[in-house]
Amino acid sequence: MNNLAATFMENLIFVLEFLGLVAAMVIIAYVVEKLEKKKNGVKERTLTTRKIAMIGVFSAIAAVLHVMDFPIPFAPDFYKLDFSELPALIGAFAFGPVAAVMIEFCKIILKLLFKGTSTAFVGDLANFIIGCTFLLPASIIYLFRKNKKNAVIGCVVGTLVMTIFGTAFNAVYLLPKFAELYGLPLDSIIEMGHVINPAINSVNTLVVFAVAPMNILKGGIVSLVTMLIYKKISPILHNTK
């Protein structure tokens, strides 16, 4: 806990940027849900007591899955794959985009409390923001017409957005920030990738050959599992028979 607090203070500006992105994601999700409710004449609150309780449950499951991350053979060791977006996507389909963002955020907080950060918060920011670029498109598309077709379209669009955004975000912001916070030259990070894949010889090739396939793999697996189980557990989530 002391190490986490020290890292927090050392990287305060970066943490504030992180919180700003969290706020932006919540606002986007909230506005979309309000528009959908207004369109359909629904007066239910965005966050009911039941939704808050379910967000807590899904956040805990997501945090456990997040901690169980593992390296992938085609990327440097600091890139880890996890399937914590699975409960977040199920929660997003069941309770909407706001719930999705809150599950992602609470997952990161729980992970930091129990495991701390090994990437000076860079990896945690990446996991949150890139996860949201998957969850928000998927849940927003599904929100306006809740059927299997839209769920599939949402997952496909979400995976594509996550892959494109994640690739660009790593190249433009995350990798330079990671290098800055750790005092590493970018060339050293690129070399880590080059050892694994000789085709990696620049930031662009690193994100194309490591980040993009990782996000496609993650989005595909999470989407497939969600499609297989969501309808079966939906009555339980909504407390209906």
- Sign of the Cα torsion 78, 81, 84, 88 reads positive
The pairs formed by 126-129 with CB atoms below 8 angstroms and a separation of 24 or more are 126/166, 126/169, 126/170, 126/174, 127/66, 127/82, 127/84, 128/18, 128/21, 128/22, 128/104, 129/21, 129/25, 129/169
CA distance 103 to 98: 9
pLDDT tens digit string along 131-189? 999 999 999 999 988 899 999 999 999 999 999 999 999 999 889 888 887 778 899 99
Number of Cβ within a 10 Å radius of residue 204 = 12
**pTM, 2 dp:** 0.88
User: Residue 87 maps to which CATH number?
Assistant: 1.10.1760.20
> Partners of 149 in the beta sheet?
none
Full residue range of the structural domain in which residue 111 is found: 2-237
Find all residues with CB under 8 Å of 107, minimum gap 6, and list them.
Answer: 59, 62, 63, 66, 84, 88
pLDDT in the model for residue 240: 61
Nearest to 82 by CA among 19, 127, 149, 24: 127
State the amino acid at position 210 in one-letter form: A
Return phi, psi of residue 79, to 5°. Answer: -90, 120
Average pLDDT over residues 219-232: 95
More confident residue, 35 or 65: 65
Q: How many domains does the chain have?
A: 1
Spatial distance between the Cα atoms of 32 and 25, rounded to a whole number of angstroms: 11
Residue 6 has pLDDT above 70, yes or no: no
pLDDT digits (tens, 9 = 90+) for 71-90: 999 998 888 899 999 999 99
- In angstroms, rounded to a whole number, what is the distance separating the alpha carbons of residues 37 and 122? 35
